[in-house]
Every structure is written in structure tokens, then in C-alpha cells.
Structure 1
Amino acid sequence: MAKAPAPGTVAAFECNFGRDFGRRVLLTVDTEEEFDWSGPFTRDRHGLNHVAALPRFQAFCESLGAHPIYLVDWPIANDPSAIEIIGDAVARGMADVGAQLHPWVNPPFDEPLCAHNSFAGNLPRELERAKFMALRDRIEEAFGTAPLIYRAGRYGLGPHSADILKEGGIKIDTSVRPLFDYSAHGGPDFSHHPLHPYWVDEARQLLEVPMTVVHAGALRHMGQALQQLGKRMPFLLGAMSQLGLFERIAMTPEGVSADEALRGLELTFEAQIPLTVLSFHSPSLVPGYTPYTRDAGDVEALYDWFAQIYACLGKAGVRSATVGDVFGAAAR
């Protein structure tokens, strides 16, 4: 079976979903605390005010037929309001809960606070494991169900992450952000990772479901070469994007317009990607907590983005997926 790049340094193997799976969409929410994205990392200078906006978002998802996957981190998993809101949706079968590790706010705190250590995969194996297991156990205690899906905060996978996740009972990782390179900041390089889901191990215990990112434009088939060239000449990518020659489209309402995302969707259909993964950060549901929603108008635009995307998915016959749907189809 053909091999593909994988989280950290482990091998990976192609995955084929069953014919009846069709095309699906997975809506992932990085459900996390509010913090200063431009400031230094801190243990305690964060908030959870946006949690009050989660009921509106959940009701909106249900009206669209969307099934959100709340990837919760330590502060969220310890907030009574978040537990009640998300727990109700999970209990009704209208959402799933997964794990997202922000090491700077997740005990045990045995590492210096710095950008390098904000990527969990950069931590010593035992410390990464201890943080993940603490989060995993807390989620199971708070929500009554163990998480089966995981995303590393800042997409920070490392060489030990896959083994730790398998030990903790995780079935799906969705930390890989293809076509993005975070190595300049001490993080992983996903430039050459595939867009399709793949098995991390030959035993098919851990499935990687990459976030959906595509190259678009007339020169998109030269994507890898142009992306590498853009690292040395950043202005070049901007110019080509403005001319419609080449652009990178991530399937998120954060920094990506609905028109861009709809173009991206068409390309995922063309590439026969079986699973589209949408993503955004929960603090964007309230103005002022992320760079993407600075006022009420931006928040409404975020909701409109999802409405347009799900309308397009519906016309194309793309159905919402749960964590169980995805892993079950892959395992078969």
C-alpha cells in the first residue's frame, strides 16, 4: 500500500472509505479560551466570555443540518457553562466532543513558557503525554464520554504524538494543515502532506483527517514549487493571488471569504476529496477576541459564510459526518 507523510515522523498508509460513504463534511471548532494572539503566552491571562455565544452557534448548526465537533481544551473542559452547553448537544446526538491541547494552559506545568513550547510536539515525550492524558481524562469526566478525535493547538504535532494519541484511545487526528509550513516559528512543516485522509499506522489504529486546504488559480498545478518560491519572495504570492493565477484556500471563515471558499469547494470536488474539513476558533463567535471578527458585522459575516458553504454542500449532495461515521467507514 502506498505511503504518505504523517504526523511527526511516523509512517502512514492510504485510506479508502467505503462506496456508501460518498462525500461528507466535518465541521471542527477549536473550542478554546480567549487570549491575546499577538502577546506572549501566559498561564492565566485569558477569558471565557464567548462561551455564552455557543448556544446560538449550536442552534444555527442544527438548522443547517451541520454536526459540529467541539475540540475543547483545558479551560473549556473546566468551565461549567461550556460543559453544560456542549454536553447538552453531545447528549442529544447533535455534536461530538474532542480534545485540543494548548500546552501553555494545560497542566502539568513543567516547561518554560515560550513559543517553542507552545507546540506540544516539541515537549519531552513524557510531558506531552502527561498533558494530553490530563486533558483526555478531564474531558471524559466533564462530558461523560472519552474524546475520540484530537487536534494539537497551533497544529503542533511531534515525533511522539501519534503513539501518545493511540495510547489515549484517540481514533482520529485532525492536526495536519496541508500546504502550510510553521517551521519558521518552531512548529511542523505540512507543505507536502496529502489532502486526503490516511492511516498513520499499518495497523489502522489512528486515522489522519487533514484540514482542507487547496491550491487554486491557473497555476495551481505548480503549487508546491510556487509555495516554496513564495517563502523567499512573499510579495510574489500576493501578486499572483491578485491576478487570479495562484492562491491557497483554507476552508475556514477566518480570513477566507465565502467566494474564495466556494471556489475551494469546487476544487475539492474536482480532486475527489471524500471529506471536507471546515474549521474555526470559537472566540470568533464574539467581536474582539480574534483578528477575524473585530465587530458585530464580522460575526454575522461568519454565520453567513457557513450558510453559503452548507448551501453549496447540500446542492452537491455532501452530507454532514460524525466522528463515528468517519472512523467507522475508514475501518471497514
Structure 2
Amino acid sequence: MQRLPPPGNLATFKEGFAPRTLLTVDTEEEFDWDGPFSATGYGLDHVRNIARFQEFCENIDVSPVYLIDWPIAESSRAQEIIGDACARGKAEIGIQLHPWVNPPFEEEVNAFNSYAGNLPGDLEREKFLRLRDAIEANFKAVPQIYRAGRYGTGPSTAKILKQAGIAVDTSVRSKFNYARGHGPDYGLHPLKPWWVGDDQRLLELPVTSVFWGLLRKQADWIHPLADKSDTLSGALAKMGLLERIALTPEGVSIDEALRGVDIAIDDGLPIIVLSFHSPSLAAGHTPYVRTEADVDGLYAWFRAVYDYFKQRGVAPTTVKEIMTNVEV
């Protein structure tokens, strides 16, 4: 997935299906975002708040995709809440690999190894398979979508997913470069879905982030330079010249998100992928949601964004619908 796909690999969809939007939830443990990675010491207090979020989604006719990692897969409360929603057809389950909390524990726990794709291929595969098997056993569902924690794909990831029968990957965060922190560089990757390889067995659904501003058509060569300087990127955004907008309630205002939605639609993206982290459903677990007012703001963000999607004629979708409507 780290290689740029050739233009001929871009996916197409059946007439009348697109544009659609998919809501993905990085469903994971609570941990110190500013501290070192650790295999222990995490929390799961926010899991009970997933019930409220699921009810909210059902009220706006959205089926979220819960991308579950190991601590969540082992949580009986998560199994009850998310498993029930999936059994009723109101949600879907996927896989998210956080290698530092996922057995087998053979590697040193550090920033480099926090990207599953940096691990030896055999270890990445074994961690993935153990997580997949735990999810299938505990949630009585067969996941069809995967996201590498921290978007950390590697040279073995696609092969592992194909061999395991995973239909969709959503690990690529287009327009972001994590190379400075030992991660992958997706800075020039497209926002439209594509087939990974030539066999049309694995569909890539990149997480949606767009560029806004007078210079957005030149963003692919300007932003890599601006990304190295917070001062420069901030100045470009303040002057309305170039701003990267990630479609997430975490650190992105409603006004920014609506501008991003307009750009995504106007640029013809067939699938607009939203994302956020499940610990943000409760106060105090992520840098983005510190107070109860912030929690209310997260829900207000989703109301506004989905109301706007409706105005623009963009319907929610599911992984099942996407795979039914993609042309092969």
C-alpha cells in the first residue's frame, strides 16, 4: 500500500452508487498519547460510552465500522455492545492492529515497532491472525476490513491481508507523511479507492483528507515543504492559500469539515471515509476531547456533517455495500 498505484488500478463503482460516505472508528484502548508505548497500563473505561454513540448512529441511519484492536477484542463489554449492533445489522466490525498490545510479544516495544508494517513479516502475520481469530470468536462476525494502527503498513501487509481473505484495507491516510516518526509516507497517494496489485483482491479505501485554498491544485508539491514547518503551514492556512482538512471531529472544526466535504464531493471522490478514535467518546482520554463540553462538540460535529451530507446527496454506506457495488 505504500507504493503509488498506477492510474489503471483506480476502482470504479456501479452507476448510481457514488458518492457515499463510510464512518470508521479506531476502536481501541485508552493510553497516554504523550508517553512511551507500553504493552500494559492501558484503560477501557470509555467502552461503555460506545453504547450512546451506537444509538446516535442508528438515529441518523449510519452504520459505523468498528475497527477493533486486541484489548477491545478481549473486552466483554465491547463484545456485548458492538456484537449486538452487528448482529442487528446496525454496525460492522473490522480489524485494527496495535502491535504493542497484541500477542505474540516478541519485539521490543518502541516507536519504530509501533508500526506493524515495520515488524518482520512473519511476526506481523501472526499478530494479525491472532487478532482476527479473537474477533471472529468473541464477536461472532467475520471482519472484511483492516486498518493498521498508526496507518503503519509495510512490505508484507497486502500479502497477509489477501491470504487471510480480507476484502478492504483502509490503512492509507492520503496526504500525510509519517516518515519522520519511522512510519510510511502517503503524501502523494490518491484519495480515490484503488486495487492493491493487479488481481483485484484487495480494495484500498484511503482515509479522506483534502486540501483547501487558492493553492490547493499545487498542494502535492507545496505541502511537503510546508509540512516541515508549523510556522509556514500555519501562515498558508491563515492566508487562505493552503490548508489540509482531515474529515474527523478530532481537531477539525465543523466549518472546516464542511469545506472539506464540499471539496471531496466536487473532486468526485466516490467514497468519503470519516474516522476518529473511540476513546474520544469520553472526556480525558485523547488530546481532542478533554471535557464533557468537548464530548458534546463531537456529537454536534457528526450531526452537522451528516446533515450536510444529506443536503449534498451523499448517503451513508457500509463495507458490504461497497464490495457489492465496486466493479471488478
TM-score by length of 1: 0.96
**Which residue in 1 is equivalent to 2:11?**
15
**Counterpart residue type for residue 61 of structure 2:** G
Q: C-alpha distance in 2, partners of 1:24/1:232?
A: 33
Matched to 2:138, the amino acid is A
Q: Could you tell me how far apart the structure 2 residues matched to 1:246 and 1:295 are? A: 30
Tell me if 1:203 matches 2:199.
yes
| Aligned counterpart, 2:86 | 90
Amino acid at match of 2:75: D
Q: Is the 8 A contact 1:8 1:161 kept in 2?
A: no
Structure 1 residue 331: Cα displacement: 4.2
User: Of 72, 79, 93, which aligns to 2:75?
Assistant: 79
Deviates further, 24-33 or 236-245: 236-245
User: How many equivalent residue pairs?
Assistant: 326
Alignment partner of 1:191 out of 187, 192, 195:
187
Query: How much does 1:155 deviate?
Result: 0.2
1:296-311 matches, cutoff 5 A: 296-311=292-307
C-alpha displacement at 1:231, in angstroms?
3.6
Partner of residue 57, structure 1: 53
C-alpha deviation, 1:233, in angstroms: 3.5
Question: Which residue of 1 is the match for residue 169 of structure 2?
Answer: 173
Any conservation in 1 of the 2:208–2:273 contact (CA below 8 Å)?
yes
Structure 2 letter corresponding to 1:137 = D
Give CA deviations for 1:161-206 in whole Å, capped at 9, x if unaligned.
0000111111000010011000000000000100000000211100
**Code of the aligned partner of 2:206:** P
Q: How does 1:252-271 map to 2 (within 5 A)?
A: 252-271=248-267
Instruction: Name which of 309, 313, 323 aligns with 1:327.
Output: 323
Is 1:157 aligned with 2:133?
A: no
Deviation at 1:9, TM superposition (A): 4.3
1:233 to 229, 240, 244: 229
CA distance in 1 between partners of 2:3 and 2:110 (Å): 23
Tell me how far 1:107 sits from its aligned partner: 0.3
Q: Take 2:227 and 2:311, find their aligned partners in 1: how far apart are those partners?
A: 37
Which segments of 5 or more consecutive residues in structure 2 lack a partner in the other structure?
none
Structure 1 moving runs of 4+ over 4 Å: 9-12
SS at match of 1:19: coil
Q: Which shows bigger deviation, 164-173 or 113-122? A: 164-173
Aligned equivalent of 2:64? 68
Aligned partner (choices 105, 110, 114) of residue 109 of structure 1:
105
Deviation for aligned residue 1:327: 1.4
Per-residue CA shift, 1:69-128, capped at 9, x if unaligned? Answer: 000000000000000100000000000000000000000000001100000000000000
Amino acid of the structure 1 residue aligned with 2:301: W
2:277 aligns with one of 274, 281, 295: 281
Contact map agreement 1:74 1:102 (CA 8 A) in 2: yes
- Do the aligned partners of 1:8 and 1:158 also contact (CA within 8 Å) in 2? yes
Alpha-carbon distance in 2 for matches of 1:157, 1:125: 11
- What is the Cα deviation at residue 8 of structure 1? 3.3
Q: Distance in 2 between matches of 1:286 and 1:218?
A: 37
